[in-house]
Amino acid sequence: MTVGTGAGADMGMGTSASASASASASASLSASASPGSVVRPLQASGAATVDPVVVAPVLVALTAAVLALLVPGRRPKQTVSVVGVVAYAVSVGLIVDRVLLPPDRLVYQLSGWPAPVGVVAVADPLSAFMLAVAAVVAVPALVYAVVHMSDDAQELTFHPLFQFMLVGVSGAFLTGDLFNLFVWFEVMLMASYVLVVFYSGPEHTRAGLQYVVLNLVASALMLVAVGGLYAATGTLNMADMARRLAAPAAYGVAVAPVLGASAVLFAVFALKTGLVPFQFWVPPAYGAAPTPVAAMLAGVVKKVGVYAILRLYFTVFAAGSLPSALALPGLAGDSLLDFYGPVLFVVAAASILLGGVGAVSRDRLEDVLSHSSIGQVGFIVLPLALAATASGAGLGPPFGDVATLGVAAALVYTVVHSIAKTALFLAAGTVEGTTGTTDLDDLGGLAAQSPTFGVAVFAAAVTLVGVPPLLGFFGKFLVLSTALEAGSAVALAVAVGGAVLTVAYVTRLWGRGFWGAAGPAVGSTLALPRSEVAVVVALAAALVAVGVGFDPLLRAAESAASAALDTGAYVDSVAPRGPPAGGAGAEPSVEIEVEGIEVGVGAGGGLPSTEVVEP
């Protein structure tokens, strides 16, 4: 009697989050093996694409971190760190070139162990897109740190910690294993813990303590949720988990515990992303951190939580169907992703409105920007909520359906927020370093003192509003288009209300801080550091350039969105179906025998199948 339980089973995976992504497997299990039966592996289904370039960003950042830790002196550390971040951007560029346009997928199996036994790194258009965002923010943030921070601040630990934070970010974007996602989160967060309290004053320590305690609690909950998912599905490999959720009866998976564990995970990711109601750590942490670190927290670290929601809920959990008793009333679909659509909508709407109101009422630059970050992340999550519950109605090119449009809108807005908010945080650091304050009551007239700086800040600020031809216009347009195509008047009202609040706090920030008569902290003559101004100007120029030449970014976002929604292709990239690497009759590369039971993992990297042979 033969029963297929692995990659050799013919399984159809749904490629859209708009409907149930559940698929049926032709495999079936049997528990009728008699005593003394021998369980042997069927052949693996095929070879996964193996390319070590997948792990290049992690290795480059790790090498730079170790070297920056070992070399003595400030200048050698600066040199190692700057060269390292440039090399990091180059390594990311290699991955982007290979997988983003045209879309492709690369897999690297660590130590040669195939999935799901071994740990895999996966580079697909979604992970490549997010890596590119990290590189675009990290390079100017580090260059700014070199010219802005004091010599003493850069003497010992800043540069190693910055690089270790990049290691964690890159690992999170590339891992194909749920437990290792937890590990890379912790690598990223441990570096950020120290960087938030870097200046060690009372305010910094208080903000850092809150940040550390909340994230440690979240990390503990994440570990519990990961253990729960392993207990429920029997695997930690994301592709394997998606396959099992698509055919729960064949693999003996109970969906209800998966829903519970995924709910805990969602709360963790919402906290790490700074979504309402877990947003309260954001303003004090951003205000306490050094300026380049605040830019990284807003532009990159927050986006790791967004990526985790996309990868797990849209790619993995979307493959599972909910029992009718667990489905939310009024929903058209029955997948796990459909369940989270309303949840995503509530946290997105609350973040947009509360973040906007908070930004309007603040009087310091960094406080305005911190609360603005809460609202702007809500704009990223809002189209994801609509994509999760989309009806699947067809659209014209380049988007095939509302789900793809919604995810692409979120990705474009991720780029908008990352670049614009990095520019604004760095500008706030320059203002504070030059005038000694960021209080709007003491500022004013900064644009007259440095017109170039003023134009750059104005461009970054109105990008958040959505003024053409800046990049922010296309981000806002795609978010509103998603609401219109989904037929959600409530989402449209929330987006418009959030846009009005954005206009209000941007106008207030510009009018009081940069326009009009010079305030007491500005005076009649004020020389802003040219090197710092140059970094802000470069970021503002990027917002203009990408907005004018928007088509490549749109195509990249569409490619990444399609990858996020294509569960079947993701599963096949890690554990492909088809003939084994060694051809017909190839033996599995891993075979374990325990008390007369043999379990094999195919040489081609596929998931194991099982053959029960009567003695």
pLDDT digits (tens, 9 = 90+) for 504-538: 999 999 988 888 777 788 876 678 899 999 999 99
Per the model's pLDDT, the better-predicted residue between 164 and 613 turns out to be 164
In this prediction, residue 8 carries a pLDDT of 34
In this prediction, residue 585 carries a pLDDT of 35
* pLDDT level of residue 33 (50, 70, 90 thresholds): very low
Which phi and psi angles does 290 have, rounded to 5°? -55, 150
pLDDT digits (tens, 9 = 90+) for 273-328: 999 999 989 999 999 999 999 999 999 999 999 999 999 999 999 988 887 666 66
* pLDDT level of residue 466 (50, 70, 90 thresholds): very high
Q: Is the pLDDT of residue 64 over 50?
A: yes
Largest CA distance in the chain: 95
- Mean pLDDT computed over 415-442: 93
In this prediction, residue 308 carries a pLDDT of 96
Q: Is the pLDDT of residue 47 over 70?
A: no
Do 386 and 488 meet the contact criterion of CB atoms below 8 Å apart?
A: yes
In this prediction, residue 390 carries a pLDDT of 78
In this prediction, residue 155 carries a pLDDT of 84
Average pLDDT, the chain: 83
In this prediction, residue 602 carries a pLDDT of 41
* pLDDT level of residue 46 (50, 70, 90 thresholds): very low
In this prediction, residue 17 carries a pLDDT of 36
Lowest mean pLDDT among 121-125, 406-410, 598-602: 598-602
In this prediction, residue 576 carries a pLDDT of 55
In this prediction, residue 295 carries a pLDDT of 95
In this prediction, residue 14 carries a pLDDT of 37
Hey, what long-range contacts does 502-506 have (CB within 8 A, 24 or more apart)? 502/356, 502/372, 502/375, 502/464, 502/465, 502/466, 503/465, 504/356, 504/360, 505/356, 505/359, 505/360, 505/362, 505/368, 505/372, 506/461, 506/462, 506/464, 506/465
Q: Is the pLDDT of residue 115 over 90?
A: no
Q: How many percent of the chain have pLDDT more than 90? A: 60
pLDDT digits (tens, 9 = 90+) for 485-497: 998 999 999 999 9
Q: How many percent of the chain have pLDDT more than 70? A: 82
Annotate 378-396 with b (16+ C-beta within 10 A) or e (fewer). Answer: bbbbbbbbbbbbbeeeeee
* pLDDT level of residue 606 (50, 70, 90 thresholds): very low
Do 356 and 348 meet the contact criterion of CB atoms below 8 Å apart?
A: no
Give the separation between CA 407 and CA 560, rounded to whole angstroms: 8
- Mean pLDDT computed over 326-333: 58
Report how far apart, in Å, the C-alpha atoms of 456 and of each of 101, 408, 471, 576 are: 31, 27, 14, 48
Q: Is the pLDDT of residue 49 over 70?
A: no
Domain ranges of the chain: 52-573
Give the separation between CA 475 and CA 242, rounded to whole angstroms: 30
Do 600 and 590 meet the contact criterion of CB atoms below 8 Å apart?
A: yes
DSSP class of 325? T
CB atoms under 10 Å from CB of 593, counted, come to: 12
In this prediction, residue 578 carries a pLDDT of 38
Q: What share of the chain is helix, strand, coil (3-state, %, to 5)?
A: 65, 5, 30
For 94, the enclosing helix (H) or strand (E) is: helix 74-99
* pLDDT level of residue 501 (50, 70, 90 thresholds): very high
